[in-house]
Amino acid sequence: MKHTASFLAILVLGLLGGKTAQAQDLVAWWDFQDMSGGTATDISGNNWHGTLTDFHDTSANAGASIGGSGWTNAGQLNFDGRSLDNTASGDTLRTQLPIAALSGTSFTIEALVSHNYPQQNWSPFFGQSDGACCPHIFFFGRTSNTGSTNPVAPLHFNIAGLGSGNSSAVPIADGEQHHIALTFNDVTDTVDVYFDYANVGSFAGRTGVLDTFAPNTMWLGGVGHNASERWNGYAWDARVIVDTPGLPGSGVLPVEAFIGFDPNGTPASTPQGSSFSFANFGDTSRLMMRGTAGKYDAGTSGVPDDDRIRLTTRTHGSQAGSAFLNGEVHFPQANLAFNTKFAFEISEPAGGADGQDGTGADGMLFVIQNASPKALGNAGGGMGVQDIGKYVAVEFDTWPGGLHDPANNNGSHIAIDVNGVVSLAQNPDVGQPGMPRFNDGGVHYAWVDYDGAEMKVYFNTVDVKPATPHVSALVDLGTHFGAQDLYVGFTAGTGGALNNHDIVNWQFNAVPEPSTYALLTMGALGLFLVRRRTEK
pLDDT score at 412:
74
Q: Tell me the C-alpha distance between 326 and 316, whole Å.
A: 27
Task: Map residue 181 onto helix, strand or coil.
Answer: strand
Examine the pLDDT at 389 and tell me if it is beyond 90. no
What band does 131 get if pLDDT is binned at 50, 70 and 90? Answer: low
Sign, CA torsion 223/228/234/240? negative
pLDDT score at 478:
94
pLDDT greater at residue 522 or residue 105? 105
Task: Map residue 530 onto helix, strand or coil.
Answer: helix
Q: Tell me the C-alpha distance between 25 and 145, whole Å.
A: 35
Phi-psi region of 315 (alpha: psi -120 to 50; beta: other; left: phi over 0): alpha
User: Residue 92: what residue type?
Assistant: T
Task: Map residue 506 onto helix, strand or coil.
Answer: strand
pLDDT score at 28:
93
Q: Which residues of 287-308 are buried (b: 16+ CB within 10 A; e: fewer)?
A: bbbbbbbbbbbbeeeeeeebbb
pLDDT greater at residue 152 or residue 422? 152
pLDDT score at 258:
38
pLDDT score at 352:
75
pLDDT score at 523:
42
Q: What would the mean pLDDT of 323-341 be, rounded to a whole number?
A: 92
Examine the pLDDT at 363 and tell me if it is beyond 50. yes
- Give tens-digit pLDDT for 237-286: 999 998 766 555 544 565 444 333 343 334 444 556 688 999 998 888 78
Q: Tell me the C-alpha distance between 349 and 335, whole Å.
A: 39
Q: What would the mean pLDDT of 64-82 be, rounded to a whole number?
A: 79
Q: Tell me the C-alpha distance between 466 and 469, whole Å.
A: 7
- 3-state SS of 402-462 is CCCCCCCCCCCEEEEEECCCCCCEECCCECECCCCCCCCCCEEEEEEEECCCEEEEEEECC
Q: What would the mean pLDDT of 94-105 be, rounded to a whole number?
A: 88
Q: How crowded is the C-beta side of 5, counted as CA atoms within 13 Å?
A: 24
Q: What would the mean pLDDT of 314-318 be, rounded to a whole number?
A: 79
Determine which helix (DSSP H) or strand (DSSP E) holds 28, and give its type and residue range. Answer: strand 26-30
Q: Tell me the C-alpha distance between 446 and 181, whole Å.
A: 47
- Give tens-digit pLDDT for 441-489: 789 999 999 999 999 999 999 999 999 998 899 999 999 999 999 999 9
pLDDT score at 261:
38
* Residues with Cβ within 8 Å of residue 387, at least 6 apart in sequence: 149, 377, 378, 420
Q: Tell me the C-alpha distance between 305 and 99, whole Å.
A: 44
Average pLDDT, the chain: 78
Examine the pLDDT at 11 and tell me if it is beyond 50. no
- Give tens-digit pLDDT for 194-238: 998 889 999 998 877 777 676 789 999 876 666 667 788 899 999
- CA 218 vs CA 145, 239, 341, 359: distances in Å: 25, 11, 47, 39
* Residues with Cβ within 8 Å of residue 458, at least 6 apart in sequence: 446, 447, 448, 449, 465, 466, 468, 469, 470
- Give tens-digit pLDDT for 16-29: 333 333 434 889 99
CB 123 within 8 A of CB 232: yes
User: Of 147-151, 400-404, 419-423, 518-522, where does mean pLDDT reach its minimum?
Assistant: 518-522
Q: What would the mean pLDDT of 101-127 be, rounded to a whole number?
A: 86
Phi, psi of 301 (to 5 degrees): -135, -10
* Residues with Cβ within 8 Å of residue 519, at least 6 apart in sequence: none
Q: What would the mean pLDDT of 507-529 be, rounded to a whole number?
A: 54
Q: What would the mean pLDDT of 293-300 be, rounded to a whole number?
A: 72
Q: What would the mean pLDDT of 157-185 be, rounded to a whole number?
A: 88
pLDDT greater at residue 529 or residue 508? 508
Examine the pLDDT at 306 and tell me if it is beyond 70. no
Domains and CATH numbers, the chain: 7-17+27-242 (2.60.120.200), 275-519 (2.60.120.200)
Examine the pLDDT at 531 and tell me if it is beyond 50. no
pLDDT score at 83:
54
Examine the pLDDT at 103 and tell me if it is beyond 80. yes
Examine the pLDDT at 148 and tell me if it is beyond 50. yes
What band does 521 get if pLDDT is binned at 50, 70 and 90? Answer: very low
pLDDT score at 9:
31
Most confident stretch, 292-296, 308-312, 367-371, 378-382:
367-371
pLDDT score at 130:
67
User: Which of 370, 404, 327, 341 minimizes the C-alpha distance to 477?
Assistant: 370
Examine the pLDDT at 14 and tell me if it is beyond 70. no
pLDDT score at 1:
31
Gap between the terminal Cα atoms of the chain: 100
User: Of 386-395, 431-440, 473-482, where does mean pLDDT reach its minimum?
Assistant: 431-440
What band does 311 get if pLDDT is binned at 50, 70 and 90? Answer: very high
DSSP 101: G
Q: Tell me the C-alpha distance between 208 and 287, whole Å.
A: 47
Examine the pLDDT at 527 and tell me if it is beyond 50. no
Q: Tell me the C-alpha distance between 401 and 409, whole Å.
A: 7
